[in-house]
Structure 1
């Protein structure tokens, strides 16, 4: 039996959010090493430009840096519009940017007054997939990989912003399950445009700065997470709307993404909060 070859990344354009550290940084290097032009996103220009310089010196692929603070929806929308203008065709979007806070910490809010993990981990990705959909369609077949997690707390539509006492501890899991729910909800329409959208859990408690800040001992490495991410990026085919663990389809750790009512409520809420609609 002849095995279908992995996709070539040579000459493609990829946007990786949260690319100045951890898995995002490793992904930017790996994509460039396979011949892609990588749009490096981050908040820190010095770190971003250093990564661009490193990729340029490697002599393989290319990179450019675009700064944006995803705690501000205005900044995310402006960032998306600049990417859309600069890159009419976008072959790959890796929604990787994220924040997490230790258990017991006070509730954090974004510039718009939203719970910060929901804003950065979920709402920013919502804006990007919808604002960049025409660019992804222009490059079809193209892909969106939402870097989520097996962490799963169901979305409490009565308290999405975690204002009730003690609710902040479920913020990370809620934001990550929202990513998976969005993926299931949007994937069919995106697939009709030639865009395959999937979500994934890269690896558990990788040795990243974020995990260190959470005061958890690492259980896996960034290299392991990168292996699983790149397997999805280069796989000959992916199942639209699927959730992947170790590059294999799996059930999310909560049934909410399979609930049509929850999906509809999340899409309506996302449009209301961001001013960006799903076409």
Structure 2
């Protein structure tokens, strides 16, 4: 593991919530932190605040709407060409069940929104950046998942027949864990390690408040549970695991089914090919 001051860390959804907490803490170590956001004004303001608080001038920004696969593709391509190395990718950006969980929403590509942002963008960005991560080895992928998980119905994976926002959210978070296990098998210790974490229960974030839920945990609770996966040397040897805060646990059983993961990969590749015109 390289010293944090020599590492480059990309955090998606870095302008607020858990992503911002992690950015603040990592910026203070002297790491090069690349902050992703989808709103230019909020991203610029967050960048100014992080630099002012940390004194770290090596904080960069990237702008992309992860609800559009063309934007995800452009982001990954840009970073792969621009960065000399990438030590850690933190896939944190996401959307919750929505204020009205009975209303089905779609991305600009016609994909159910939770699946598109929480999982499919993570899948495509991670796949695009994998060669850069491999060249920077040993490197890490940290996927911000959830204890709220539900098996994917591959007869209706995008919930076109029967929609519920909470189920859509839970399916998308399980899909992130399934991706984590695939990545762990593909690369392994010594190259790229991949782990997933439920950082805390109902942190004090805009997403939780949108649901009308009273927060249970603070951002610091979730942030301090997540930071070891990014910063601690022992995670050079930990791979393909799901953590519920600080404890390793088993995820929903579907995550460990090879055929379910194969179906998910196939669906993901088809959706991406359709959105990007097969390129």
Q: Which TM-score band applies after superposition, normalised by the shorter structure? A: over 0.9
Gaps of 5+ in 2: none
Of 56, 63, 70, the residue aligned with 1:67 is 63
Cα deviations by residue, 1:47-74 (Å, 9 ceiling, x for unpaired): 2112222232231362111110011001
Alignment of 1:48-197 (within 5 A): 48-57=43-52, 58-60=54-56, 62-100=58-96, 101-102=98-99, 104-191=101-188, 194-197=191-194
Determine if contact 2:102/2:164 at 8 Å carries over to the other structure: no
Of 9, 17, 30, the residue aligned with 1:14 is 9
Gaps of 5+ in 1: 1-5
Of 38, 42, 46, the residue aligned with 1:43 is 38
Q: CA RMSD in A?
A: 1.6
Secondary structure of 1:151 counterpart? coil
Determine if contact 2:189/2:239 at 8 Å carries over to the other structure: no
Residues 67, 259 of structure 1: CA spacing in aligned structure 2 closer, same or farther, 3 A cutoff? same
CA distance in 2, matches of 1:237, 1:138: 21
- The equivalent of 1:259 in structure 2 is 257
Deviation at residue 7 of structure 1 after TM alignment: 6.6
Deviation at residue 167 of structure 1 after TM alignment: 4.0
CA distance in 1, matches of 2:112, 2:169: 10
CA distance in 2, matches of 1:78, 1:133: 15
Secondary structure of 1:237 counterpart? helix
TM-score by length of 1: 0.92
CA distance in 2, matches of 1:215, 1:105: 15
- State the aligned residue count: 270
